[in-house]
Structure 1
Amino acid sequence: MKSLYVSQQGCYLSLSQEQVLIKKGQTTLNQAQLPLIEQILIFGKSQVTTQLIHTCLKKEIPILYLSRMGYCYGRVLPIQRGYRYLSRYQQVLTPLDRLLVAQAIVTAKLKNSRVFLMRHHRSHPSTNLEMAIQQLDYLITKVSCTESTEQLLGTEGAGAAIYFSAFGDCIQNPDFIFIARSRRPPGNPINAMLSFGYQVLWNHLLSLIELNELDPYQACLHQGHERHAALTSDLLEEFRAAIVDSLVIYMINRKMIDSDQDFEFIEGGCYLNEVGRRKYLQAFLIRMEEIIGVDKQPRWDSLMRQVKKFREFVYSPSRKYQPYLIR
């Protein structure tokens, strides 16, 4: 199953038998077989016919509407999907169950961050990377001692600060400089790529959570509210370094993205422009379609597996939740 991205502005999506046609004016830019589509993501201003919307609702294919910068405005889902029978199981999880899952997620994030830095330290050794790896090692040992999610978020935040203090040492392209992580708004091209990548991945995870009939607002680590699907943010933590960070460094070091031509500055923030978004999304799709693991499944499958593991945990908390770890 594939995701269909529409990032060009002013496109028109229609249905012809089982084919989704993407047109701009009289020109057909692309087409895709509807049965093979898992979700449709529309960035910015493009139109979708009522016929295609109805068919997607019948086939339970979500349509996601995002800003050009990757912010998700909302999703079109069938009405029966609004009732999540699993939510009652999520609601009765004990505080200890939630804390144990939160600890597993933070441990996985710290370990994945450490592995990511170790890989770059082997090829381009630096004192900064070595110190960050040692500090992450220490924080990993402290996770199991935390007694609340507040303490755990503090440990996670400290780990993120250590990780990003060494992130710049992974960059081998002099056109890009990274000093610190900035989010709202992203302050430079690298932060723009990271923020956009996290948002794209967040949207994918949210759709998978919905597809598995879980309540995305019932989480273990982050606090949910009406504007924050916190379970999505929980599961995202495990994949930041493995998918987004690694892809950003890959594209930068191989000069697949241009620091001058592929970004734009708007209201004090730096964002990928239309060309830059297309470059990132193309590389993202290639990365996610790579066949990995002993099961010989595309990388997409790793996202689905984690959502299903959380679903299994919700049904039976005694089975414990096993987070995603890179080797």
Structure 2
Amino acid sequence: MKTLYVSQQGCYVCLKQELLLVKFKEKLIAEVQLPLLEQILIFGKSQITTQAIRACLWQNIPIAYLSRMGYCYGRIKSIEKGYRQLARYQQELAFAERFIVARSIVQAKLKNSRVLLLRQQRRKDLEILSLTIKTLDYLIEQSNKSNKLEQLMGYEGAGAASYFSAFGQLLSNPDFVFMARSKQPPGNEVNAMLSFGYQILWNHLLTLIELVGLDPYAACLHQGSERHAALASDLIEEFRAPIVDSLVLSLINRGMINLGDFEYRDGGCFLNNSGRKKFLNAFVGRMEEKISTDEKDKQPRWDLLMQQVKHFKQFIYSPAYGYQPYLIR
């Protein structure tokens, strides 16, 4: 089953018999057979015809409308039949089941951060990288022995602090300096890019969580509240380094973004209009790249996110099988 991502601006989706056609003006961009389609995500200023919407509803294919930053404005779904068990199962998970998943998520975050540093170490053989990699190895080992959530969160925080202490050494553009992670508000240009990228990724994960019927406020690692969809915060952890951090490094080191793409306001540093446009174009371009996933056919990198949301859904129905986070090599 495929997910149709309509991320190019100004497109429209129409119906032709059992096919959905994606067009830009009169040019055919893509076509997908309705029986093979699982869901549709429409980013920004694109649209879908009423006939196509009706056909999707008839075949139980949800449609989500998102901003270019991945914020979900709303979704169209057919009326569900039967008793809704998923959210109840999710809320009834035992602490031990939640903790095992929380530990696997923390370890995946630490391992993916370690792999990114190992890749960069091949280009820059610096002592701080070697020390940070050893620190991450130690924290991965210690987290595997942990049996308390507070302790696990401590290992995650220590790993992030160690990782970001070395992150600035990976930048080859002298205009950009990074000493430590700062969030609310971002303290400099690199932090502004990291925060912006994480927000896009978080928004998109929240959309996918909603589409599959999971409760976004019932998580394993983070604590949910009426203002915090904690499950999106759980699932983003394994993707921070391989998707956002690597993109930030690429944009800076290749000179694709410069100091003129930022503005200082409200006590912090933020991407301005030109900066946001550059970052979004690069982000969407990277997420549209076709890669091999669990499916036989190559899918856009977007599909990695849906793959993990589905894995979590499977865990809810069958906790004994656990949850396997996304790992890079």
Structure-2-length-normalised TM-score: 0.82
Cα root mean square deviation, aligned: 3.1
- What's 1:9 paired with? none
When residues 280 and 50 of structure 1 are mapped into structure 2, their CA distance, relative to the original with a 3 A threshold, is closer
1:61-72 matched pairs, under 5 angstroms = 61-64=63-66, 72=71
- What's 1:167 paired with? 167
When residues 63 and 122 of structure 1 are mapped into structure 2, their CA distance, relative to the original with a 3 A threshold, is same
Q: How far off its partner does 1:33 sit?
A: 7.8
1:267-278 matched pairs, under 5 angstroms = 267-278=266-277
Aligned pairs, number: 305
- What's 1:184 paired with? 184
Q: How far off its partner does 1:144 sit?
A: 1.8
When residues 259 and 21 of structure 1 are mapped into structure 2, their CA distance, relative to the original with a 3 A threshold, is farther
When residues 150 and 185 of structure 1 are mapped into structure 2, their CA distance, relative to the original with a 3 A threshold, is same
Q: Name the aligned partner's letter for residue 212 of structure 1.
A: V
Given that residues 14 and 51 in structure 1 are in contact (C-alpha distance below 8 angstroms), is that contact kept between their aligned partners in structure 2? no
Q: Secondary structure at the match of 2:175?
A: coil
For 1:76 and 1:228, how far apart are their aligned partners in 2? Answer: 18
- What's 1:221 paired with? 221
For 1:88 and 1:249, how far apart are their aligned partners in 2? Answer: 41
Q: Secondary structure at the match of 1:177?
A: coil
* 1:259-298 CA distance string (max 9 Å, x none): 22x1122211211112111111111122112222374332
For 1:222 and 1:139, how far apart are their aligned partners in 2? Answer: 19
- What's 2:306 paired with? 304
- What's 1:107 paired with? 107
- What's 1:317 paired with? 319
1:1-327 matched pairs, under 5 angstroms = 1-4=4-7, 38-42=40-44, 55=53, 60-64=62-66, 72=71, 75-78=73-76, 80=79, 85-260=85-260, 262-293=261-292, 295=296, 296-327=298-329
When residues 41 and 185 of structure 1 are mapped into structure 2, their CA distance, relative to the original with a 3 A threshold, is farther
Structure-1-length-normalised TM-score: 0.83
Q: Secondary structure at the match of 2:259?
A: coil
Q: How far off its partner does 1:92 sit?
A: 1.2
When residues 119 and 109 of structure 1 are mapped into structure 2, their CA distance, relative to the original with a 3 A threshold, is same
Q: How far off its partner does 1:313 sit?
A: 0.7
For 1:291 and 1:263, how far apart are their aligned partners in 2? Answer: 31
Given that residues 209 and 309 in structure 2 are in contact (C-alpha distance below 8 angstroms), is that contact kept between their aligned partners in structure 1? yes
Given that residues 84 and 214 in structure 1 are in contact (C-alpha distance below 8 angstroms), is that contact kept between their aligned partners in structure 2? no
Q: How far off its partner does 1:78 sit?
A: 3.9
Q: Name the aligned partner's letter for residue 114 of structure 2.
A: R
* 1:176-235 CA distance string (max 9 Å, x none): 111111110111111111111111111111111111111111100000111111111101
For 1:86 and 1:303, how far apart are their aligned partners in 2? Answer: 19
For 1:161 and 1:239, how far apart are their aligned partners in 2? Answer: 17
For 2:47 and 2:318, how far apart are their aligned partners in 1? Answer: 42
When residues 140 and 292 of structure 1 are mapped into structure 2, their CA distance, relative to the original with a 3 A threshold, is same
Given that residues 289 and 301 in structure 2 are in contact (C-alpha distance below 8 angstroms), is that contact kept between their aligned partners in structure 1? yes
Q: Which runs of 5+ in 2 are unaligned?
A: 16-20
- What's 1:25 paired with? none
Given that residues 60 and 78 in structure 1 are in contact (C-alpha distance below 8 angstroms), is that contact kept between their aligned partners in structure 2? yes
Q: Name the aligned partner's letter for residue 256 of structure 1.
A: M
Q: Secondary structure at the match of 1:63?
A: strand
When residues 202 and 32 of structure 1 are mapped into structure 2, their CA distance, relative to the original with a 3 A threshold, is farther
Q: Name the aligned partner's letter for residue 77 of structure 1.
A: R
Q: How far off its partner does 1:16 sit?
A: 8.6
Q: Secondary structure at the match of 2:270?
A: strand
When residues 257 and 107 of structure 1 are mapped into structure 2, their CA distance, relative to the original with a 3 A threshold, is same
For 1:32 and 1:51, how far apart are their aligned partners in 2? Answer: 16
Residue identity over aligned pairs, in percent, reads 53
When residues 118 and 253 of structure 1 are mapped into structure 2, their CA distance, relative to the original with a 3 A threshold, is same
When residues 179 and 3 of structure 1 are mapped into structure 2, their CA distance, relative to the original with a 3 A threshold, is farther
Given that residues 97 and 319 in structure 2 are in contact (C-alpha distance below 8 angstroms), is that contact kept between their aligned partners in structure 1? yes
Q: How far off its partner does 1:71 sit?
A: 9.3
- What's 2:18 paired with? none
Q: How far off its partner does 1:50 sit?
A: 12
Q: Name the aligned partner's letter for residue 214 of structure 2.
A: L
* 1:49-105 CA distance string (max 9 Å, x none): 9988x9599563222458xxx595x63134757x95311110111100000000000
